[in-house]
């Protein structure tokens, strides 16, 4: 496949944007022309050959802007290869990852028109001192800062996506 790949992301605090930029950089290293944009500014119908959608999970729900993006661009997205990643738990507990992945899969299953070529869940990042309303309640200020993003895992997933996008173009 040649052409442009849109890497669209929805984030509150910037962690998902940082991962979207890393995914786009890796796709660029693999020969794709990757553009990173917030979902509010992204239009997959603008000549893109494929799309990666990145979203944060908040309380096990996909980011509101990501839900709106998927709904608004359903027609364009149904005709393109799409990969999805989500930023999830900030506690390094297997049950947190399992529950987040289950919730992500459930949210995507509600959009039967969107069969992603790949779906990934990555650990999230939390700095309680940066939280804004409604996330900045007193209980959250007591939570320890965490960054569970595994950059090697993110790069490996981007390589997998590049291979799948490339395979689709040669089919």
CB burial of residue 154 (10 Å; 0-12, 13-18, 19+): buried
Q: Residue holding tokens 């509101």?
A: 64
Highest mean pLDDT among 1-15, 31-45, 119-133: 31-45
Look up the domain containing 149 and give its range: 4-170
Consecutive H or E run containing 7 = strand 4-10
34: pLDDT strictly greater than 80: yes
- pLDDT, one tens digit per residue, over 73-100 is 999 999 999 999 999 887 889 999 999 9
pTM exceeds 0.85: yes
Q: Roughly how many angstroms between the first and final C-alpha of the chain, as a whole number?
A: 9
Q: Which structure tokens are listed for 35?
A: 């553009």
Confidence band for 127, pLDDT divided at 50, 70 and 90: low
Domain count, the chain: 1
What is the mean predicted confidence (pLDDT) over 130-159?
73
The mean pLDDT of 91-116, rounded to a whole number, is 93
Average pLDDT value over all residues in the chain: 87
Could you tell me the CATH number of the domain that includes residue 9? 3.40.50.360
| Residue 70 pLDDT | 96
Looking at residue 134, its pLDDT comes to 47
């Amino acid at each position: 496949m040649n052409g442009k790949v849109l890497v669209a992301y929805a984030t509150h605090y910037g962690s998902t944007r940082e991962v979207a930029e890393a995914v786009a950089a890796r796709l660029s290293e693999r020969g794709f022309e990757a553009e990173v944009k917030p979902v509010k500014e992204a239009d997959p119908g603008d000549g893109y050959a494929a799309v990666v959608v990145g979203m944060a999970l908040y309380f096990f729900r996909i980011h509101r802007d990501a839900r709106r993006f998927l709904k608004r661009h359903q027609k364009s997205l149904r005709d393109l290869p799409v990969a999805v990643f989500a930023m999830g738990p900030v506690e390094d507990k297997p049950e947190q990852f399992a529950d987040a992945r289950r919730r992500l899969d459930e949210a995507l299953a509600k959009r039967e028109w969107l069969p992603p070529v790949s779906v990934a869940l990555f650990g999230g990042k939390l700095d309680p001192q940066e939280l804004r309303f409604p996330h900045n309640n007193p209980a959250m200020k007591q939570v320890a800062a965490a960054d569970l993003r595994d950059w090697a895992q993110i790069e490996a997933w981007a390589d997998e996506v590049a291979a799948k996008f490339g395979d689709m173009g040669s089919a």
